[in-house]
Structure 1
Amino acid sequence: MAPESLDAPPLQQSPEFAAALAALDHPPWRYPDRAGWLIQRRRFAPGLALAMVSRARITPELLPRELDNAGLGRTPVILAPDHPCPGLGETGAIRLYPPATVAELDLRRPAAERRAAMHQKWRNRLRYAERGPLFIRRTPFPDDPDHWLLRAESEQQRARGYRNWPAALTLAWTRANPGRAVLFTACEGDRPVAAMLFLRHGRAATYHIAHNTDRGRAFCAHNLILWQAADWLARRNCHRLDLGLIDRARLPGLARFKLGVGATARPLGGTWLWWPPTAAIARPATRIFRRVASGRRRWTGQTATFK
């Protein structure tokens, strides 16, 4: 099953995501000629607008015509393809950020096969957790802005210097998609010691936010939660679990955790800016650089390359 199939779209191209944005009075627009294109548009001031197409299937050679047909021919568009897309440079798009990588867990395999595919250390931690005192409680995520997990996530973002969804969007998801935000909490007695929140969209699901405590880490709570959550999703005909971005260089421990469960690393397509005024300049410049690279001209003793 391809990640962009209509029954299991990436979260950012799903009807559930569109419903959550609409609940915040920011409804996206779906380009009718491209079923995978859910387009977000923002107007910042008269004459100043920006559009975004995130995690969609993009065909570079058709891009200028399709954006024009979608009414975006004169609008700056941020493109973040769901797949490697080196041909975007030929259209005049300017790459802003290199491709990121996501970890995806195939839930169509039987549980025994998924368990066998785990890294040995990950499987050992899971066995340790299964023998421990924790039990997992599954509940729909409540529409509660003061929920302890949202507070913990906010504090964690400040402490570690990263940004995630605003809490308002998470709560909008719960209101617009009843039962599609599922919270798995590891408890020791009556006390929660760890939690993970998953968002379901079509026949796919995405890991959203999580928190762990010292007590949860001592008993490998997140290993136990992720295994039980994946098993629960698989039994409900969920085909794929998106575990989010991984960065082996900056966050090697988190990458090992996500891949250790048996997930596969898959590259995305980077982040690009497409806008006719810049495209008119960037397109010929890109072609010149590619000719230089293919001709293997040497500058200062080094082979010129263009990636």
Structure 2
Amino acid sequence: MSVPLQQSPAFARALTAFGADVSCDAPVVLNRHIWPLGRIGFTSRGPHDTSDLRALRRDGLRIFNAEHDAPTPYKSAGFRQIITPAHIAEWELCATTDERRAALHPKWRNQLRRAEAAKLRLRDVNWDGMDHPLFQHADTTARSRRFRPLPTALIATFAQLNPEDALIFESYDKGHLIAAILVLRHGETATLQTAWTSPNGRRAHAHNLLLFHAADRLTHLGHKTFDLGLVETDNAPTLARFKLRTGAALRKLGGTWIAIPGL
């Protein structure tokens, strides 16, 4: 079954081991106890079954980032939208390598060819949650851009519990790590979670090579969809173009909804 990372059983187990109060049924609901409001339930990229919304609200669900753009059942269940929908890039992996290459945007394909001609060395690692240079670099980049990703400790917990489902793809030039990405596997879908590239990596288009190689590996492992994450054309237009030029489809999510007791 294809579900987003935040709704996967593996992620629910990681949240629980991390110390969070989680309702592990579908959808995965993260609970916070806030005085004097009591238990406040939150779910991300869910719920999939909108018929359960009224029962979920009675059970304490108060906020959710919707996976699907379906305002009518959300409103009927007593929720109101507070943030408009975001968009994600989904790369379908059912094609062959040659078909996937042919579907690339010409500029993306040319960058891939230059990276292949550079004879960069690639390495795949089943990450076990231990320290890795990727996160040192990625955390520094996130702070400089005022971006708040999932805590590295939570991702490490996921990797420790699911070591075969956390893959790091590395690119080396003359023995030096110049780029790396982390991909988390969950059911039929895999999610691009963390990425970093050095100035040398950008010049060599190492991320094109890593992402295309990762798509091949994930297809071989049986995945059907590669979730490349949010597409933000206003705040990160270069990254948005990079994701969509893979041939990934732009999909609209459902926005953020809230239910206030008594209203």
Q: TM-score range by the shorter chain?
A: over 0.9
Distance across 1 between alignment mates of 2:234 and 2:116: 31
Matched, 1:83 2:68: yes
Distance across 1 between alignment mates of 2:123 and 2:224: 22
1:203 to 188, 201, 205: 188
Listed one character per residue, the Cα deviations across residues 67-119 of structure 1 (whole Å, up to 9, x for unaligned) are 32xx22xxx61111111022123443221211000000001122221111111
Residue 83 of structure 2 is matched in structure 1 by 97
Q: Is the contact made by 2:9 and 2:24 (CA closer than 8 Å) also made in structure 1?
A: no
Q: How does 1:52-201 map to 2 (within 5 A)?
A: 52-58=42-48, 63-68=53-58, 71-72=59-60, 77-87=62-72, 88-145=74-131, 147-201=132-186
Distance across 1 between alignment mates of 2:51 and 2:188: 30
- Letter paired with 1:100: A
Q: Is the contact made by 1:19 and 1:177 (CA closer than 8 Å) also made in structure 2?
A: no
What secondary structure sits across from 2:142 in the alignment? helix
State the identity as a percent: 36
Distance across 2 between alignment mates of 1:60 and 1:97: 19
Distance across 2 between alignment mates of 1:37 and 1:233: 25
Shift of 1:27: 4.8
Q: Is the contact made by 2:101 and 2:109 (CA closer than 8 Å) also made in structure 1?
A: yes
Q: Is the contact made by 2:128 and 2:163 (CA closer than 8 Å) also made in structure 1?
A: no
Matched, 1:30 2:20: no
Distance across 1 between alignment mates of 2:114 and 2:95: 24
Moved more, 55-64 or 110-119: 55-64
Distance across 1 between alignment mates of 2:143 and 2:122: 28
Matched, 1:274 2:251: no
Q: Is the contact made by 1:19 and 1:27 (CA closer than 8 Å) also made in structure 2?
A: no
Listed one character per residue, the Cα deviations across residues 35-79 of structure 1 (whole Å, up to 9, x for unaligned) are x411111224475321112212455565224432xx22xxx6111
Q: Is the contact made by 1:18 and 1:27 (CA closer than 8 Å) also made in structure 2?
A: no
Residue 198 of structure 2 is matched in structure 1 by 213
- Letter paired with 1:10: P
Distance across 2 between alignment mates of 1:163 and 1:66: 28
Listed one character per residue, the Cα deviations across residues 193-241 of structure 1 (whole Å, up to 9, x for unaligned) are 0001100011210000111111111110000000000000001101111
Listed one character per residue, the Cα deviations across residues 221-270 of structure 1 (whole Å, up to 9, x for unaligned) are 00000000000000110111100000112211101100001100000000
Structure 1 or 2, whichever has the larger Rg, is 1
What secondary structure sits across from 1:143 in the alignment? coil
Unaligned runs of 5+ in 2: none
Distance across 1 between alignment mates of 2:52 and 2:188: 28
Residue 300 of structure 1 is matched in structure 2 by none
Residue 296 of structure 1 is matched in structure 2 by none
What secondary structure sits across from 1:258 in the alignment? helix
What is the aligned length? 262
Distance across 2 between alignment mates of 1:197 and 1:43: 32
Residue 43 of structure 1 is matched in structure 2 by 33
- Letter paired with 1:231: D
Q: Is the contact made by 2:67 and 2:254 (CA closer than 8 Å) also made in structure 1?
A: yes
Distance across 1 between alignment mates of 2:30 and 2:207: 33
Matched, 1:12 2:6: yes
**Structure 1 segments (4+ residues) deviating >4 Å:** 58-62
Distance across 2 between alignment mates of 1:50 and 1:245: 25
What secondary structure sits across from 1:276 in the alignment? coil
